Amino acid sequence: MKVTLTLNGAEASGDIEPRTSLGDFIREHQRLTGTRLGCEHGVCGACTVLIDGRPMRSCLMLAVSADGRDVRTVEGYEGDAVMAAIRRSFKECHALQCGFCTPGMLATAYDIVTRLPHADRKRIRTELSGNLCRCTGYLGIIDAIEKALDHVHGAERRTQVETA
Amino acid sequence: MKPASFAYARPASLDQALRLLADNGGRGRLLAGGQSLGPMLNLRLATPELVIDIGRLRELQRFETTDGALAIGAGVCHADIEDGRVPDLAAGLLRRVAAGIAYRAVRNRGTIGGSLAHADPAADWPPVMIALGAELKIASARGRRRVPAAEFATGVLATVLEPDEMIETIRIPRAASELRWGHYKIAAKPGDFAESLAVVVIHKNGTGARAVLAGRSQTPLLLTETARAIAGVRAWSSEQQAIIATALDSDLAREGVGPGLSPEERAIHLASVSRAAREAIAS
């Protein structure tokens, strides 16, 4: 079955079986192996990508269901200032070790930083509950997202979080 | 961990989808957000011959308020309710419940109709819709019928839906806007399926209350005696806990659930019901 979608700003198409997940289409057919498939039943969050700007599980979406939609993977953030800030803080806060969960973590972090400018540490923890990491113990990831939020949203955010 | 082969159809209208369902006599499986069916396909717990993708049908994604009642299309995703794009007739209850379902990446895809139709005993929407007195409009190529939310699920993953039917809209009555409510979910971690989930609603004019209990091992249960005990309470005190415990035990015994519960399970259910009741009374 033919599928055509936008992948990181460029048209990507393939002739695939309907049972192919979007995650497998991205990895096996488009050879973008940054997206990881972990549990393949929606629990671990490693496969999370942005679809039309919203984080979704690429293991639970059929590639044919994504026909015509806009998909952004970890390879697709070149020139994006928000993602640049998140990546810098992930590095500075030791928010990754083996790196398997990181592409999904970055997609979720991107959603938190853009959708919830006033998120405090508790809210960050709750929002991260759908992404598993077996290396870091999460503290570095929470630190990194908080730091990126401060960097992207600046002084206005700090006053609002303190008074919240 | 990959699905078995299936044929795939993405009908362009609700009528076409209903026709496909009818023509395939139980061999077709509806796919909306895929957040329950997706894992079942990947684990090969579901091996349909045909997957009918209704995830883009705009007819199922509408919502409107008429004469004070709210009709939500079955294809509306949880995140749209969480973010308040759908008007919250029940004074914040719908937003609270939506925000507690799984994770944002799941809420961006998963739909309210899919959650109800899947009828997982630990799912978030069924007990809420029962408490609010909602009614489901069910569609098939043969016509339409309406079923109260309380009569929709017949057991674990089992509903009154015939093989050619689907939920079209969920109608929440105007009376939902005259309720005070409490809601408490106990789960191993945020977003996990509920060990216990309680919803309590009390009429603002004091005419009555309704309490519903659900959870991992418990299909939604109307707690009639517990609701009666809650309805008379004006302010929470330490005695209320004991009164509610007695009423809950009586409800569980009547429904034949009590004897099968471990002391821990009973304690967890009592905690969620008491906390929901306390919130409703205080609101």
Q: Does B1 touch chain A (CB under 8 A)?
A: yes
* Contact between B215 and B122 (Cβ < 8 Å): yes
Q: For B67-99, what is each residue's pLDDT tens digit?
A: 999 999 999 999 999 999 999 999 899 999 999
> CA-CA distance, B43 to B152, in Å (whole number)?
27
| Residue whose C-alpha is closest to residue B115's, from B76, B146, B171 | B76
Hey, are the CB atoms on A130 and B3 less than 8 Å from each other? no
- How much is the mean pLDDT over chain B? 95
Interface test with A, best of B42, B56, B82 (most A CBs within 10 A): B42
B89 in Cβ contact with B172 (< 8 Å): yes
* Integer angstrom CA distances of residue A51 from A61, A69, B278: 10, 7, 40
Contact B190/A108, CB-based, under 8 Å?
no
| A82-141 pLDDT tens trace | 999 999 999 999 999 999 999 999 999 999 999 999 999 999 999 999 999 999 999 999
Structure tokens at A92: 């500075």
Q: Closest Cα to residue B131, out of B95, B165, B173, B96?
A: B173
CA A1 to chain centre: 27
pLDDT above 90 coverage of chain A, percent:
93
What is the average pLDDT value for chain A, to the nearest integer? 96
Strands (E), chain A: 2-7, 10-15, 48-51, 54-57, 70-72
Reply yes or no on whether the pLDDT at B133 is more than 70. Answer: yes
Residue with tokens 């914040």: B92
- Out of A24, A41, A45, name the one closest to residue B103 (CB): A45
Q: What is the reported pLDDT for B253?
A: 93
Chain B residues inside the 8 Å CB shell of A56: 105, 108-109
Q: What is the mean pLDDT of residues B169-191?
A: 95
Q: How far is CA B22 from CA A78, B13, B274, in A?
A: 48, 14, 45
CB–CB of B31 and A24 under 8 A? no
B 47-76 near A (Cβ less than 8 A): 51, 53, 55
Give the pLDDT score at B260.
85
Q: Is B194 exposed, middle or buried (0-12, 13-18, 19+ CB in 10 A)?
A: buried
Q: Which token pair is A110?
A: 């991107």
Q: How far apart are CA B201 and CA B223, in angstroms?
A: 12
Residue B216 clears pLDDT 90, i.e. is over it = no
- Secondary structure of residue A137 in the 3-state scheme: coil
Given a cut of 60, whether residue A164 has pLDDT beyond it is no
Bridge partners, residue B50, by sequence: B7, B28
Those residues with Cβ within 8 angstroms of residue A29's Cβ, 6 or more apart along the chain or in another chain: A14, A16, A20, A63
| Binary contact (A42, B38; C-beta < 8 A) | yes
Cβ-Cβ contacts under 8 Å for A78 (sequence gap 6 or more): none
Name which of A42, A55, A129 is nearest B190 (Cβ-Cβ). A129
The answer to whether B37 touches A60, Cβ cutoff 8 Å, is no
Return the sign of the alpha-carbon dihedral for residues B223, B224, B228, B229.
negative
Whether B204 and B178 have beta carbons less than 8 Å apart is answered as yes
Q: What backbone torsions phi and psi does residue A104 show, to the nearest 5 degrees?
A: -70, -40
Q: In sequence order, what DSSP letters do the residues of chain B get, joined into one string?
A: --PPP-EEE--SSHHHHHHHHHHTTT-EEEESS-TTHHHHHHTTS---SEEEE-TT-GGGS-EEEETTEEEEETT-BHHHHHTTSS--TTTTHHHHHHHTSS-HHHHTT-BHHHHHHHT-TT-SHHHHHHHTT-EEEEEETTEEEEEEGGGTEEETTEES--TT-EEEEEEE-GGGGGEEEEEEEEESSTTSPEEEEEEEEEETTSS-EEEEEEETTEEEEE-HHHHHHHHT-SS--HHHHHHHHHHHHHHHHHTT-GGG--HHHHHHHHHHHHHHHHHHHH-
Q: Residue with structure tokens 């957000």?
A: B33
pLDDT, residue A92, reads 98
